[in-house]
Structure 1
Amino acid sequence: MKKLLFLTASAAALATAGPALAQSQDSVIFQDGDDNAATVEQDGNENLSDVNQDGDNNTATVDQDTNPPGSESFSVPANTSDINQTGDYNTATVDQDNDNAAGSTNAVTINQNGDGTSALEANVADASQSGDGNTTTIDQGAAALATGNSNAATTSQSGRNNTIDLAQINDGASADVSQDGTGNTSTSSQGRNNAANTTTSQELFVVQTGTGNTSDVDQRGSENFASVNQTGNDNMSTINQPGFDNDIGDPVGLVSVGVNQIGDDNESTVTQSANFGLVTVDQIGNNLTSSVFQTGRANNSVADVDQSGTFNTSTITQTASPPPVGPGRQMTAEVTQGGTMNESVITQTNTLGAPPISNNLAMVNQSGSMNFSEISQDGHENTADVTQSGSNGDSLVDQTGDSHTATVTQTGSFDMSTVTQTGTGNTSTVTQGN
């Protein structure tokens, strides 16, 4: 049996649909004007809710529950909720529960477009799903350039093979993404960096717990902040921030993590296109890998990776160029690894254009087994400090211009060290073991 509810409302109206058991239901609501509220409750399978609101200060709330006690079984145990809001200071909330073990997917789509100029006019989206194979899509302003300021989104999923796709194109947007389970995927996009409409000050927090989860973050514009925290096995995180004054980490006390992974088969890639930089990656345990690139002019750089046992690897590249040739700015890179297959490659540069700044510093601290480290620096106040401890050793330090220093300490087994320094401050100390 199918039940259809079709409502049209305007100005200061309240529309309510539900609840009913064991039947397929369609609810379609149109509201035009300000201060409207729509509430939809659906129990059962194959339900559809479609809420459309045009105006300011509207609220839409949808609650869909698949297979509640007493409901009959349907061939397609899936609910769908679509909310479309145009205007400012609107709120959309969706809660879907899918407890059919073999069930198909539930789907949430929230589209919000506004043209407000302050946080007081921001739109808010909140979606929560439990079960397997669910999909959440939240789009705040991506369809147009008049997108409002400071929109906020919160979305959470628990279960297996769920997907979150989040897009926010406005100044001051913030989002919290949470997934708990296996094989979940989160794709988050914030901001834009075209010259005429550059966005600033986005914040994104992603937390994933479980196995085989993937997070992909792309933040455009400037002064953005991203934090990804993954706990479990086979997780992967990618963060891309082309812009300036972007942070992955905690320069201003927002959180204590910038990518944090705990578990097996970890992997993390961060790409920033320089300017005010800063990256922190913290991986704990097993196949670990991290790559950080900071690139163009390398501005205020800094990268910090702290891994721990087993197959470690880390690559940090910091680069520079123009004016002839380079700034380089502050740089710094520190890697601390812990036992087994270690490797670390750090490359910094300046290419010897007259200061602006380049304080190069690179430290690596590896610990036991197949160690290898390669540090290349280029110009100004270079320093490099490599400490390896025990087993197959190897270390290459190549510094080129200005105030050099290199200290390498290796302790035990196949130690070997090559240090190359040219023009100005040189100093080199290598201590090896037995």
Structure 2
Amino acid sequence: MTKTFLTGASIVALSAAAPLFAQATVPAGCVGVTGNCNIVDQNGDDNAATVDQTGSGNVSEVLQDANGATADVDQDGTGNLSNVDQDDTDAGTDDPLATIVQTGAANSSDVTQSALGVNAIGRTATVTQADGGDSVITQTGAGADTSAITAIVTQTGDSASTILQTTGNDFSTNFMATVNQTGDDHVSLIEQRDPTGNTNDGFDLLATVDQTGASNSSDMIQAGREQTATVNQSGSNGTSLIRQFVRGNVATHNDSGDTNSADIRQLSGGNTLGQTATVNQSGSNNDTTIFQDGLNAGGANDGANTATVFQNGTGDTASISQEDQARGDAAVIFQNSDSSNSTATITQLGDAVAGAPLTANGALIDQRGGDNNASDLFQAGSDNLAENYQEGSDNDSGIGQDGSNNVTFVDQIGDSGTSLALQGEFGGSFNSIDVDQAGTNNDSTISQSTGSNNTATVMQTNALAGATNTSTIFQGDGVAGDDNTATVTQTGSGNTSLITQSDVGALGGFNSATVVQTAIGASSTITQDGTLNVASVSQFTDAHSSTLTQSGTGNMTTVTQGTP
């Protein structure tokens, strides 16, 4: 037997040449981590990963390349980071599931789920963050018939959430994104897209955001198929933006508090499903903007759009625009109860295409229970209906309609109201305007400047027999028109009526003007051009004045003054 002894120098030299045992190295993802670090990398079907970390500054990363993978991460502490990446490359119904729970401030979660196979069903990501955090969820699908993509985020504290859901093949269905945020200064972004623009009706992109607290922000984008977006905000200084593209859009926004803003934009892409937008705001100084388009020029139906706004407070602003071949659309703004110093605007632009179907849009602005409200409504096209109801003092109403067979109703209850109603500024016949004002110092102006067979009716009443209501009607003063009718009824003292019916095109006249005034000190002026016109003035009690001028032949005049 031979024995060999190594000197100390030899041992040192040997140790330097090669380590006796393998040494662990820090994974790249853990470099610089101040707390615990965990990395799980799984390749194979039906794998499951569970991570539980406590303390601050921890990092968890779960990588799963599998069909039917499951990841559960629970982190308790501040400044923690969780990354989950799940990639399903096979077809089938068992697809990724990720659940993240983080408790503590300044935590961050990032979940990415992708599926390439056909019939990929059931991508689900759930993130819960307490005391503030950032969450990003990205879910994609490249195979046909992918469906049931679900993302749920629940956050308390100063938090931010981003959810991105996209697919790129036919028959992708049932995307759902839900965000619940409690506290102040939250931010939510949801984007759902089907770039293929598949036309499967009845299969939705669904998005819901609930935010409680002040200064919250929500931004939604949906594109590709029938869509539903809902935003609920409780608190002040919140903002909400909803953008929906292409098909069957439905958007709902609800908020309570002051100085909130809702903006909904719906683009139809020429589909015939129609779009619906509804906004409910309770509080003061809130703002709503809704835009809807038609984009089916001259077609039989572009889908009837509907927009409705409810506001209850002072200093509110609401605007609805339905444009680009709008047909069969409905727009309604209610500013009720305490709605003082509020403004409402509706614009409906119908077809400009020759031979297109009737426009037949309807618009209503209802402002009641407050003062100093303003209403502005404009419609282009034929067979439209516009109505404005205002209750209170110092309210202002403006309505304009271009085209034929349009109808306008204005009702104002209160003192010092102003109404301006215009029809046919650029052409149109068979239009009708009806203005009803109850109170004192009200003013009504009607202009039906072009066309024939137009009708204007004004009723101004004052139960207290107060003073000074004014009515002015112009018919046919722009372009040739005849067979127009104007009727004015006024009760109370010191009222004034002016009617002008012109025969610019010398079509013959055939116009009719009727004025009835009760109480004392009323004044009536009627001017008619052309032939075969009829004018009637009835002024009851005392101190009235009537001026009537007719130029042409075959005209008829009747004036009655005094006790009826």
Q: When the two structures are superposed, what TM-score results if normalisation uses the length of structure 1?
A: 0.85
2 CA distance for matches of 1:147 and 1:358? 41
Can you list the C-alpha shifts for 1:394-432, whole angstroms capped at 9, x where unaligned? Answer: 211111123211111112343111111232332211112
Matched, 1:301 2:427: no
Structure 1 counterpart of 2:448, one-letter code = Q
1 CA distance for matches of 2:270 and 2:327? 15
Matched, 1:334 2:464: no
Asked if structure 2 preserves the Cα contact closer than 8 Å seen for 1:182 and 1:211, the reply is yes
Asked if structure 1 preserves the Cα contact closer than 8 Å seen for 2:414 and 2:438, the reply is yes
Structure 1 counterpart of 2:166, one-letter code = D
1 CA distance for matches of 2:316 and 2:243? 22
Matched, 1:7 2:137: yes
5+ residue gaps, structure 2, are 1-104, 106-131, 141-146, 168-172, 195-202, 295-301, 351-358, 504-508
Matched, 1:16 2:148: no
Shift of 1:137: 0.2
Q: CA RMSD in A?
A: 1.8
1 CA distance for matches of 2:419 and 2:272? 36
Structure 2 counterparts to residues 194-205 of structure 1, below 5 A: 198-205=325-332
Matched, 1:360 2:484: yes
Asked if structure 2 preserves the Cα contact closer than 8 Å seen for 1:113 and 1:148, the reply is no
Shift of 1:181: 0.9
Structure 1 counterpart of 2:436, one-letter code = D
Structure 2 counterpart of 1:241, one-letter code = Q
Which segment is superposed worse, 306-315 or 50-59?
50-59
Q: Greater Rg, structure 1 or structure 2?
A: 2
Identify if the C-alpha distance between structure 1 residues 167 and 358 changes in structure 2 by more than 3 Å, giving closer, same or farther.
same
Secondary structure of the 1:182 match is coil
- The match for 1:236 among 346, 361, 374 is 374
1 CA distance for matches of 2:309 and 2:517? 38
Asked if structure 1 preserves the Cα contact closer than 8 Å seen for 2:262 and 2:288, the reply is yes
Shift of 1:173: 1.1
Shift of 1:390: 2.2
- The match for 2:162 among 28, 33, 55 is 28
Matched, 1:314 2:430: no
Q: State the partner residue of 1:152.
A: 276
Shift of 1:149: 4.3
Secondary structure of the 1:64 match is strand
- The match for 2:554 among 395, 415, 425 is 425
In terms of fraction of residues, the more strand-rich structure is 2
Structure number with greater CO (CA < 8 Å, separation at least 6) is 1
- The match for 1:124 among 246, 250, 257 is 250
Q: State the partner residue of 1:44.
A: 183
5+ residue gaps, structure 1, are 67-76, 117-121, 193-197, 249-257, 321-327
> Equivalent pairs: percent with the same residue?
36
Q: When the two structures are superposed, what TM-score results if normalisation uses the length of structure 2?
A: 0.66
Secondary structure of the 1:211 match is coil
Asked if structure 2 preserves the Cα contact closer than 8 Å seen for 1:332 and 1:359, the reply is no
Identify if the C-alpha distance between structure 1 residues 78 and 148 changes in structure 2 by more than 3 Å, giving closer, same or farther.
farther
Can you list the C-alpha shifts for 1:355-375, whole angstroms capped at 9, x where unaligned? Answer: xx8421101011112211110
- The match for 1:85 among 201, 216, 222 is 222
How many residues align? The count is: 385
Shift of 1:276: 2.2
Structure 2 counterpart of 1:330, one-letter code = N
Structure 1 counterpart of 2:180, one-letter code = E
Q: State the partner residue of 2:500.
A: 376
Shift of 1:388: 1.3
